[in-house]
Amino acid sequence: MTEMQEAVPIEAVRRRAEPAVAVHELSKRFRLKDRKKGRFGKKTRVALDGVTFEIARGETVAILGQNGSGKSTLVRLLSTLLLPDGGAAEVLGHDVVSEHRAVRRLVNRVSVEASFFKKMSAAENLSYAARYYGMTAGQTRDRIPAILERVGFPPDRRDESMENLSRGMQQKVALARALLTSPVVLLLDEPTTGLDPRSKLEVQEFIREIRSSHDSTILLCTHDLAEAEALAERVGILDRGRLLVLEPAAEIKRRYGAATLEEAFFAATGREFEAEGDEDDDREVFA
C-alpha cells in the first residue's frame, strides 16, 4: 500500500523543476583595438561562443578555465552587467536582458577583486549596499554584525577603513556583502585568487557552509582545479569561449581517461592548465 502524500500545488512542482540558471547558445564578442591594422584598426574577439548549460536549484557548478576563457564574461552576463550578442540566459525563468530588474533581485556576486570604497569601513560598505536591495537601517542593524561574524570578520575591525584590511579580510567582507541580500543564485568569480593559503581555506570553508546551510545555487568560476573538484557537484571546462564539458569531476576524468582533473583539462583543451594567457592582454576593455 502506498503512503498517503500531501498534495503539492502544480506551480510549486514547476518551480522546483525549473533550473536556477538556464543558458542557451550564449555568445559575446568584443571589438578590440588592433595596432597591427593601424591607428583605427579593430579586431573581434570571441569571449563566449554558443555556451549552453543549466544549473539546478541548490546545485553548485564550477566552471574551470584559463584567464581569457570567458569565465568573467559569463558571470557578467548573468549579473546583467553585459548584453549578449546572441543566445539567451535566464535566472529562475527571468531573462537577463528583458527582465534584468527581476534577475538583479535574485543574484549577487563575489569577484576576484574585493571592490569597495576603501576609505569607508566594512560596516559602512555593507550598509549602503544593503539599501540598494531595499533593506532598511532597522533590518541591517543586527544583520550586518551577524553576517560579518559568520564570515569570521573580527568585530573590533568593523569600523576600520577597508584600506587597512588584508586581501583575505576584504574578500570575507565581499562574501558578507553578497550573502547579506540572501541571493538565490550566488556567482563566485575566482573568489580565492590571490589569497594566502589560510585565507583561501577559510573562504572555501565558508562556501561549503553556504552550500550546506542555504538553498543557494552557486556558480563558481575558478582556475583552481582542486577548489572546483572539492566544492562543486559538476565541473565545466570553458576554453576560448566554448564550454567543452559539464559533468561531475569523476565523469570528466573517466571520459578523458585521466587520473587527475588537470590531466583531463589538458586532454580536453590540448593545453597545459598553467600556460595561461592574460585575458586582458589584447582586450581594450575588461570583459
C-beta separation of 282 from 32 below 8 A: yes
String of contacts with other proteins for each residue 61-90, x by CB under 8 A: ------------x--x--xxxxx-------
Binding flag, residue 205, other proteins (CB under 8 A): no
From residue 140 to residue 179, the character string flagging contacts with other proteins as x (rule: CB under 8 A) and all else as - is ---------------------x---------------x--
Contact assessment for residue 80 and residue 108, using Cβ atoms and an 8 Å cutoff:
no
Nearer to other proteins, 108 or 222 (CB): 108
Task: From 223, 221, 242, select the one nearest 46 (Cα to Cα).
Answer: 242
Query: In 3D, which of 255, 248, 253 has the Cα closest to residue 263?
Result: 253
Choosing from 16, 31, 35, 141, the residue that interacts with other proteins (CB under 8 A) is 31
Helices (H) and strands (E) in the chain, counts: 10, 10
Is the Cβ–Cβ distance between 47 and 75 less than 8 Å? no
Strand 42-55 versus strand 21-33 pairing type = antiparallel
* 219 vs 246 by CB, closer to other proteins: 219
Number of residues that bind other proteins (CB under 8 A): 41
30 binds other proteins per the rule CB under 8 A: yes
Which of residues 215 and 286 has its CB atom nearest to other proteins in the complex? 286
- The contacts of residue 226 (CB under 8 Å, 6+ apart) are 261
Q: Which of 16, 131, 208, 255 binds other proteins (CB under 8 A)?
A: 131
| Residue closer to other proteins (CB basis): 145 or 267 | 145
Cβ-proximal residues to 242 (8 Å cutoff; 6+ apart), any chain = 49, 50, 51
Output the CA torsion sign for 214, 189, 180, 13. negative
Cβ proximity to other proteins: between 183 and 234 the closer is 183
SS3 call for 136: coil
Query: Is residue 129 a contact residue for other proteins (CB under 8 A)?
Result: yes
Q: Between residues 150 and 161, which has the closer beta carbon with respect to other proteins? A: 161
In this chain, which stretch among 48-56, 127-135, 144-152, 255-263 interacts with other proteins, using CB under 8 A? Answer: 127-135
Site string for other proteins, 106-125 (x = CB under 8 A): -xxx-x-x-xxxxxx---x-
CB of 50 closer than 8 Å to CB of 242: yes
* 3-class DSSP state of 59: coil
Residues that bind other proteins in the complex, under the rule CB under 8 A: 30-31, 73, 76, 79-83, 101, 104-105, 107-109, 111, 113, 115-120, 124, 127-136, 161, 177, 280, 283, 285-287
